[in-house]
Amino acid sequence: MKLCRFDDDRLGLVEGDIVVDVTPALDDLPRVRYPLPHLDLLVAHLGELRARIDSLAAQAPRRSLAKVQMLSPVANPGKIIAAPVNYLKHLEEVLADKGIHHGNPILEIQRAGLFLKASSSLVGAGQGVALTHTDRRNDHEVELAVVIGKQARKVAAKDALGYVAGYCIGLDITIRGPEERSLRKSPDSYTVLGPWLVTADELTDPSQLDISIRVNDQLRQSANTDDMVIDVPGLIEFASSFYTLHPGDVILTGTPQGVGPIQPGDSLLAEIGRIGRMRVQVRKAD
């Protein structure tokens, strides 16, 4: 199933180029009160909601995908985890270009570990990227995004895919410079997730997916998730050995070679096999 959020927080089931509006299914979510749990309520209860979504879909209003504004398919991730330099050819290009590494120590991922992006940086494809600090280099990074489906602590790689709710396309927009990654990658709109969540029953193996991004129709990054240094199960094992993963947590799995600058006015087209494609407009922040 392909699930999206659109317009004024509506829930959609994507079928081809149609969005089926199944928003009433959200009424089945439990009422929560302060203090809020560190998880995404929809992802946490997706299993129970599926039957309701399916039964609503038969009679639900249908909209053209082209006519709705796509929001992030995960509304409230407790954390956004990201993998630095998880493709060898990207590691090589980072080491070769001072415009990317800025004299920062660049370690292979086994030593560098993971970092976190602010959850307030998250937007959907239809909301676009608003660049800040436009006097500096702002880069695109296209990445496979993994959405965790159930609580995970010290999970072994062989069991890890059982903890995945689904997959999206992710953009890890980055200001190049000397500061910590978490600062440079966390301005508002610097994490794009979309265009929808493909549930793990529909996409069972994330290891052989073509991944690419075009800027103004020019191909910039093109690779396959098979080229990852640490694969998706390995990343879940690694992350869950340090902290508990909660439903809705997002893991950005690293970007392949070909990163490059973007400018206000650019149009990005990101694509991952078996997930789909999303177009994202770039503007200057207010």
- Annotate 239-252 with b (16+ C-beta within 10 A) or e (fewer): bbeeeebbbbbbbb
Q: Which stretch binds Mn ion (CB under 5 A): 41-49, 137-145, 228-236, 277-285?
A: 137-145
> Phi and psi (nearest 5°) for 111?
-100, -30
125 vs 113: CA distance, rounded Å: 28
Question: H/E element holding 116?
Answer: strand 115-117
Question: Shortest gap between Cβ of 170 and Mn ion (angstroms)?
Answer: 8
Q: Rank residues 20 and 147 by Cβ distance to Mn ion and give the closer one.
A: 147
- The verdict on 139 binding Mn ion (CB under 5 A) reads no
User: Residue 171 or 245: which CB sits closer to Mn ion?
Assistant: 171
Polymer length in residues for the chain: 286
Residues 150-189, one symbol each (x = binds Mn ion by CB under 5 A, - = not), give: ----------------------x-----------------
Q: Which of residues 38-77 bind Mn ion (CB under 5 A)?
A: none
Closest to 73 measured CA to CA, from 48, 36, 40, 50: 40
141 touches Mn ion (CB under 5 A): yes
> Does 225 sit near Mn ion (CB under 5 A)?
no
Among 80, 148, 255, 266, contact with Mn ion (rule: CB under 5 A):
255
Judged by beta carbon, residue 141 or residue 237, the one nearer Mn ion is: 141
Q: Are strands 80-82 and 250-252 parallel, antiparallel or unpaired?
A: parallel
State the Cα angle at 103 between 181 and 270, rounded to 5°.
Answer: 45
Task: Dihedral sign for Cα 14, 221, 145, 202, please.
Answer: positive
Minimum CB–partner distance for residue 172 and Mn ion (Å): 3
Q: Of all residues in this chain, which one has the CB nearest to Mn ion in the complex?
A: 172
In whole angstroms, the minimum distance from the beta carbon of 258 to Mn ion comes to 12
Residues that bind Mn ion (CB under 5 A): 141, 172, 255
